[in-house]
Amino acid sequence: MAEGVKAWIWGAFLLIAGLVQPTFGATPGLDRAGFAVSLCGDGAAQTRALDALIRSSGEEAVDDLAAAGVLLRGLLERRLVCLGDTAVLLDKAGASAGREVGSGAVRSAEGGRSPVLGLRQRALTETALGIATLVAGETVELRSRGLAAVERRMAGVPDAVLLRAQTNERDAGLKAVIGIAAQGAALSSPDPARRLAAIRAVADAPSGAVVSRLSALKSDPAYGADPTFRAALDAGIVRVERAVWIGNGLALLYNGLSFASILFMAAAGLAIIFGLMGVINLAQGEFIMVGAYAAYGVQEAFRRFAPGFLDLYLLAAIPVAFLAAALVGILIEALILRHLYRRPLMSLLATWAVSLFLINLVRVIFGSQNLQFAMPTYVSGGVPLYADFIVTWNRLFAIAFAAATLALTLLILKRTPLGLDIRAVTQNRDMAACLGIRTRRVDRLAFGFGSGLAGLAGVALCPIYSVNPGMGATFIVDSFMVVVLGGVGTVIGTLVAALGIGGANVLIEPFYGAVAAKVIVLAGIILFLQRRPEGLFAVRRRR
């Protein structure tokens, strides 16, 4: 009797276990082979399969989404080949064999066909691939691309996808961007309370894209029917537009400051040369080029002999660029300019000839193409500060570099024997010579020092502008304007004039264009010099 009861209980347990076992697991995984066959069907079958994948993407396993993404990418790239009741995925389009979807076995693709996508099916495929890449992408770059694809067709994406992607995202920057996208998706929610909360949340992260997104809601029926919605939307738009306007203003000031920093370094040496010797040095722009090419040489040396320290090449290039430009300047002064003092027209023509010689020499050695620089991590990228204003590290590097150059230049001019000699010769050359100062030596060293400062400007230019043999011509005219406006021979005047001219160029350019901005600035300088021909800061001279 007992044996019979035990057997009955054991049989009942096995029966119950057999009935319950198939229900284990929340949802069945993606049938990859079946999904591939559906993609091989007609437009209706493709639409049903893609719609089902998009609707379930909020709960689908990450591995299944990754597998679906591989199939969808193969479909778009025509690497998915249909063979009767199965499909083969090729490694590259046009290959003769690939792996069978589902089993993974190698199979010939002969006699197969690639599915044809209609416009609707292509849009659904791109949306589904964007979702799969956003959720299951291996790198931040891939997931960012997936988010961009999802944002283009946000109306067809379930809310759970963005919430899931935001929860699982490990990169803080991308996580914040996904959060903003999720808030934007909530703007079209049928729930009024959720839409109002989304408007407030989106307005907390202002940008030009947010202005467009909120402005588009004015065509929503709720804008005319619901006073609360209309008031919240109008207030949000005003708030975001004000923030964007402030952010754009900050960006203009920041860009103007970075341009003025480079302009100051280009003009500081010219101010010393022009103020001391009266030489109109048309080759000053080419000294900038020499500094930039010296930085390129340092980069290539690091790339060859110390590739592990390549990030440090820009810092190591600072003394090299200064010395290279200074040596070229001293050589030119010793060979050419020392014979042409007190002959301004001849010195002007001579420096112009030197300028053409250096440009063509560099073209012969390096070619005319732009140089390719590896951007160190400390001058790459930036950080969003306010609205659309981003503090970029390359421009911040130029500003900090210019500030350090200014401090060192003032220190040399005010606290070193060479600086005292330069100031003495600038004020009264004959009296300085009578006091035993070797004015010719001072001229040569000052010319080298001014050329070296231009070389430093070339280093600051490398992370921002194109480097080529003709790059110096971009700055030579602006540099002379800075020197004349600031006052010949004054470093502080050069700084103030560089800030004024650089800022004016950047502020005017968005409204009237680059050429008109230079014309307006030049006209303003001419009018100013009519009233104050000695410039902003006149050098004290003794007669």
- Average pLDDT (508-522) is 82
Distance (Å, whole) CA 518 – CA 507: 11
Distance (Å, whole) CA 361 – CA 345: 24
pLDDT at 295 over 90: yes
- Per-residue pLDDT tens over the stretch 145-173: 888 888 887 777 887 888 888 888 888 87
Residue in 327, 534, 533, 353 with CA at minimum distance from that of residue 450? 327
* Pair of tokens at residue 427: 């004020």
Q: What does DSSP assign to residue 100?
A: E
Both tokens assigned to 540: 């004290």
Instruction: Report the C-alpha gap between 36 and 88 in whole angstroms.
Output: 9
What share of the chain in percent tops pLDDT 90? 18
Q: Give just the sign of the alpha carbon dihedral 273, 423, 459, 388.
A: negative
Q: What is the mean pLDDT of the chain?
A: 83
**Widest CA span in the chain:** 134
Write down the pLDDT at residue 319.
Answer: 94
pLDDT at 489: 66
Q: Vertex 127, ends 123 and 133: CA angle to 5°?
A: 145
pLDDT of residue 161: 84
| Greater pLDDT, 258 or 202 | 258
Length of the chain equals 543
Cβ atoms of 487 and 537 closer than 8 Å: yes
82's tokens: 């249909």
Asked whether residue 17 carries a pLDDT value surpassing 50, the answer given is no
Measure the CA–CA gap between 543 and 222, rounded to whole angstroms. Answer: 81
Residue 360: CB partners within 8 Å, gap ≥ 6? 469
What lies within 8 Å, CB to CB, of 288 at 6+ separation is 266, 325, 454, 455, 457, 458, 461, 471, 472, 475
Could you give the CA distance from residue 453 to residue 473 in angstroms, rounded to a whole number?
17
Query: String of b and e for 259-277 (b: at least 16 CB within 10 Å)?
Result: bbbbbbbbbbbbbbbbbbb
pLDDT in tens, 307-316: 989 999 999 9
Closest alpha carbon to 459 in 314, 359, 362: 314
CA distance to 254, 292, 514, per residue, from 502 (Å):
11, 21, 12
pLDDT at position 327: 95
pLDDT band (50, 70, 90) for residue 200: confident
- pLDDT tens for residues 250-267? 998 898 898 888 888 888
| Structure confidence at residue 368 as a pLDDT band (50, 70, 90) | confident
Query: Is 445 in contact with 458 (CB distance < 8 Å)?
Result: no
User: For residue 516, what are its two tokens?
Assistant: 């008109």
pLDDT at 540: 56
Phi/psi at 213 (5° precision): -65, -40
Given a contact cutoff of 8 angstroms between Cβ atoms, the answer to whether 370 and 466 are in contact is: yes
Banded model confidence at residue 9, pLDDT cuts 50, 70, 90: very low
Cα Rg of the chain, angstroms: 34
List, for residues 73-132, the tens digit of each pLDDT value.
Answer: 888 888 888 888 888 888 888 788 888 887 888 888 888 888 888 888 888 888 888 888
Instruction: Give how far the C-alpha of residue 482 lies from the chain's centroid of Cα atoms, to the nearest Å.
Output: 29
**Residue 142 has which token pair?**
């891939």
